[in-house]
Amino acid sequence: MDPDSAEKVLASELRMAQKQVQVDKITEMGNTVLVEGTLRLTFVLQKGDDGQWHMVKIRRSSDHWETPDLFFAPSNESALSRSLEHAMLTALKSTP
């Protein structure tokens, strides 16, 4: 697997644009690869009544915003977590 192919797979599984995924290193182990990389996300910060900045929204793609609570929620709630879980299960099912 080459970095471009890995980026395409990850972007598709995470429902992100490929330009938001950067693969830095790939380690092959038979029918499985370990991919190290970076995801690019967009954040909305807002100053609260306490005078501190707080993250209020996270954007994974041009049309999908989540609150931090939903983004970091257990896998049964967060769209990103569900996508990551689906990608892992698909990879495990395809490994003999």
pLDDT tens-digit readout, 1-37 = 999 999 999 998 888 889 999 999 999 988 899 999 9
Q: What is the pTM of this model?
A: 0.63
Q: How wide is the angle at C-alpha 44 spanned by C-alphas 22 and 81, nearest 5°? A: 55
What's the domain count of the chain? Answer: 1
pLDDT tens-digit readout, 26-72 = 999 888 999 999 999 899 999 999 999 999 998 877 778 888 888 77
CB neighbour burial string for 14-50, b if at least 16 within 10 angstroms, e if fewer: bebeeebbebeeeeeeeeeeebeeeeeeeeeeeeeee
* Residue range(s) defining the domain that contains residue 74: 3-94
